[in-house]
Amino acid sequence: MDDFFEEPKRIGCLIVPLTAIGGFIVVALFFAAIGFSAFISTTAGCIGGFVAVLIAGKIYY
């Protein structure tokens, strides 16, 4: 009966890629909306995706 209320463990395989993509898109679009160049926006998006993965990893694990 207790097994019914446990969360599935396989959801962890989706957390890292989805968080990285989400963090990249949000930060890159934010920097692009401010008016920075494409290179700076892409670099900031990569950093944002990395930070999002670190935060998600700390929360999930």
8 occurs within a structural domain: no
5 occurs within a structural domain: no
pLDDT for 32-59, tens place per residue? Answer: 999 999 999 999 999 999 999 999 888 8
20 occurs within a structural domain: yes
38 occurs within a structural domain: yes
pLDDT given for residue 60 in this prediction? 78
pLDDT given for residue 39 in this prediction? 95
6 occurs within a structural domain: no
Mean pLDDT of 28-34: 95
- Residue 2 pLDDT > 90: no
28 occurs within a structural domain: yes
Kind and range of the H or E element at 53? helix 38-60
Q: What is this structure's pTM?
A: 0.75
Q: For residue 47, what are the domain limits?
A: 13-60
Number of domains the chain contains: 1
